[in-house]
Each structure stands twice: as C-alpha cells, then as structure tokens.
Copies of this chain bind each other. A is one copy, B any other.
C-alpha cells in the first residue's frame, strides 16, 4: 500500500497507477516504503487548491507567513531524530555532524531567516515617488512548484529548503515535488508542515506534496496557467526539459542546473603554500563524497614543476582519504561516465578512476589532469560535470592561458583565486579576475567554494547553465525571496486602498525607498 499524497491538507490515497521505492545506498537494499507516482488528476487537484489558497491569502501581512515558518521550524526540530534517521537511511549521509548538527540546523535557521524577512517586509523594496504619486512594491507571484535535489535532503528539500522558504515568505502556496531518492524524509516534513499549518491557521493548501510524476505531467505542471513560478535544483538534462515547458508558458523557472566551480591557484600561492592548498582542495572536493553544487571540479594551476607537484600531492591525498558512499546508483553512473568522458578526451588519471573503495554505492576518489592547450582545444568536453568525489587539474602554460580558460567557461556558481600573501601574484590576479568574474556568481579569494553561508549578501547563483537567470540567488534571505514575487505598482490609488507598506505612515519601520533615499520614516518626515 503506497503512502498517500498531501493535497489540500489531506493525506489522500494516490490515484496514480504506479509506485516506487527508495534504496539505502550504504547497504544497497531497497527500503520498505512504497511511494506513488501521481497521475494528472491529483496534480490538477493540487493546482486547484493552491490557486484557491493563493486567492485566499491575497493581501495577508508578512507576519502570518512568518508565524507559519517559525512554527514549521519548531515542528521540524521536534521531529529531528526521525528526520535524521530517515535521511541517513535514504542518502547514507552521516548522521553526525552532517545531518544532525549541520544540515538540519541550517534548514531551520533558513526557515527562521525567511520568517524574519517576511515579518520585516523589506524584501518588498517598497518604492514611493511623491512627485508623481506612484508607489510600487513586490507582491506574491502565485502558486510555486519546488523540485528539490538529491544531495541535500533537508536544506534544499522541495518542502523545507531555501526555495520553499523563499516562496512562502513571499506569500505563496507551495506544491513540493519530493526527490525520489529520499521520499520518507520528505513525507516526514509533510507531517511537520501540516501540524504547523493547523497551529497557525493557514490555508490547508499552503503546502502540498507529491513524490513523483510522469515526465509529461511534469511539463504540464510547470506550464499550468495556475502556477506563478517554479524552483528547481537538480540534474541539468531534466531541468532543461522542465524549463523549456515553463518558458513556453511564460512562467519564471528558477533552476540550479550544473557547475564545476573553477579554482585558480596562482604561481606565488603555489610557491608559498602548495601543501596547505592541496589539503583544502582535497577536503572540499571529497566532503559529502563530492556531492555539492559548489564542489571544486576544475583546478587551474601553472604548468611546470610546482603545478605538477601540487597535482601529485593532491593525488596522494585523494588516494589516502576514505571513500564515501554516493547518494544513489544513478549518481555513481553519471560520475563514472563523466570521468570516462574526461579520460576519453585526453585527461590523465592521477588517482582513482574505478568504482568501489567505500561502503555500498561508491567510486574511488578520482583526480585527473590535462594540459591547458588540450583543454582549450575542446573546452566544452573538459567542462563535463562529474558530480561526485573527483576533479580535473589543468596545467596552464601562462597567465594569459589561464584567462583564456576562464573566457572559455560556461556560467558557474563560484570561482576561486588563490594568490600569495605578499602581492607577488597581484599582476596575474588582475589578468585572471576580470575574465572569471563574468562567468561566476560568487568570486572567492584563498578559500574553497564549498560552504554556502545563508547570508543576505550570498549569491548562490550564476550565469547559465549554472542557473536559469543570472540576476538571482537561491540561498540567502531576503535575497532569495524576490524570485517568487511580481512587481506591483499603484498609480493614483487612493491612500486608504494602498497596501500597508505603501501607505504614508510606516509604523512597522519597513525600509522603503522614498524619492530616491532609503528610510524607515513615514512619508514626508
């Protein structure tokens, strides 16, 4: 008997014809729970209920959404042990520190930051032009569909992660599509969400949950006229198909699709602290078995003795490090095929290259190298994302070649430059940085890209294909919220009819832009 889906506040038996089960990647055993593949009729019911909830919540103050998000964070904490156990069984990610002490607190912290942003209302960027009487702000966009990825069962889960929190904070209902790798974890979040909805008197359809759809129904879902926008984090090929469907219907589709996160190590840095950087690189690349969106998958170093010594030292560290368990057989298969593509194109193996080496689903920590000139002959192939515990080191003949490699890159979430501490690399930095800057959402100095702070200044985003729009971040509050909003302008609207944050009086002390200046004062003060 398959688990029910969560539609309009009810756990209802799915009308879908088929089911699926997740597997424990550490033991390679199929897990007991059966989960439904929803058919269109129940997706349609979810859409109808979401549209109705959206209508019902029009004009509601941010505090109502904040109350829900905070109650939800509390409910999640009350179910922490269950959630951690389920996620550990479904993903093989370690209970501690990863799930219990890292990702779960990150998730509830993110929900609470979204609540604070919803309460403060400043994400609405209220703008008042007293000369013309025109006023504008951001308002909710309508029902949001969120697709979570496999690699963060909590912090990016479609029903609990950053996209979810941002969509709710903007005042929208969410239809969450759980990831097939961790349905039980997702189901537990659904129970917590229902409890929080009831405690805070929110519409039953504020949060709905389905586990899987056919491809065709997925395309119908994201392009449905009742949808406001979508958030997607996951595989590029699947995301691009959904994006095409949403694009054709004019629906904003925020997607995080792929990134190899180039790291540049300049000559002075290598001379100064090669081993320290190799340690940082190894730690960053193998953490979570390399299954991070910001995993350093491409490292550019100067060709020659120092660069080769760096690669060789890193290779030794890769070989000596424990081999983690991957999230699924699918992840191992993609990683293996990515490594084969790089090898086939001429990259040389320094470490790993074979399946196995760890518990259950695993692949040996893998490091490859290639020359800068060979990379530039075929930059597209050498940017193949091998999502997992592996990376490619490129030996660049010159700093100009380093810059040329940056110019040849697709869009990425991050780009790092390591330079020496005494200014010897500054000239090279000034050659590489301008090229790299335009290709990445977040530029780092002397630091690996993993570890994405939930900061108001964070950009977890970047040019296509890292994401589907280079103007927005998926992590950080209130930065992530405007993705799920529309711009609403009021022209000559009578004062009493304006939304609270656009009225003359500003009792909540909302940050507003009045005649070009930001202030928390009333209009005219």
Enumerate chain A interface residues (CB-CB to B < 8 A).
Answer: 55, 58-59, 120, 122, 127-129, 131-132, 134-136, 138-139, 141-142, 243-244, 247-252, 411, 414, 429, 433-435, 437-438, 441-447, 453, 455-459, 461-465, 468-473, 479, 482-483, 485-494, 497, 511, 513, 515-519
With CB as the reference atom, state the residue of chain B lying closest to A516.
B456
CA distance A464 to B250 in the complex (A): 6
CA distance A483 to B472 in the complex (A): 11
Number of copies: 2
B457–A136 touching, CB < 8 Å: yes
User: Which of B429, B479, B489 interacts with A443 by CB under 8 Å?
Assistant: B489
The list of the 6 closest CB pairs from A to B, nearest first, reads A250-B464, A518-B518, A459-B489, A470-B486, A247-B247, A129-B457
CA distance A519 to B517 in the complex (A): 9
Residues of chain B within 8 A of A141, CB atoms compared: 470-471
Residues of chain B within 8 A of A438, CB atoms compared: 58, 139, 142, 486
CB pairs A–B below 8 angstroms (14 shown):
A55-B435, A58-B437, A58-B438, A59-B434, A132-B455, A134-B457, A247-B248, A250-B411, A429-B497, A437-B488, A442-B490, A446-B494, A456-B516, A472-B487
CA distance A58 to B407 in the complex (A): 13
Residues of chain B within 8 A of A442, CB atoms compared: 489-491
> Are A445 and B497 CB-contacts (below 8 A) given A135-B457, A455-B132?
yes
With CB as the reference atom, state the residue of chain B lying closest to A253.
B247
B471–A459 touching, CB < 8 Å: no
CA distance A33 to B469 in the complex (A): 40
> Are A457 and B488 CB-contacts (below 8 A) given A138-B471, A493-B445?
no
A458–B136 touching, CB < 8 Å: yes
> Are A487 and B516 CB-contacts (below 8 A) given A443-B493, A492-B444, A497-B433?
no
Q: Pick the most buried of A129, A461, A463, A489: most chain B CB atoms within 10 A of its CB.
A: A489
User: Which of B455, B465, B470 interacts with A487 by CB under 8 Å?
Assistant: B470
Residues of chain B within 8 A of A243, CB atoms compared: 247
With CB as the reference atom, state the residue of chain B lying closest to A419.
B494
Add 16 more A-B contacts to A142-B438, A453-B491, A511-B518 (CB < 8 A): A58-B434, A59-B434, A122-B516, A128-B457, A132-B453, A132-B455, A136-B458, A139-B437, A250-B465, A252-B470, A252-B471, A438-B486, A445-B491, A445-B497, A471-B483, A473-B489
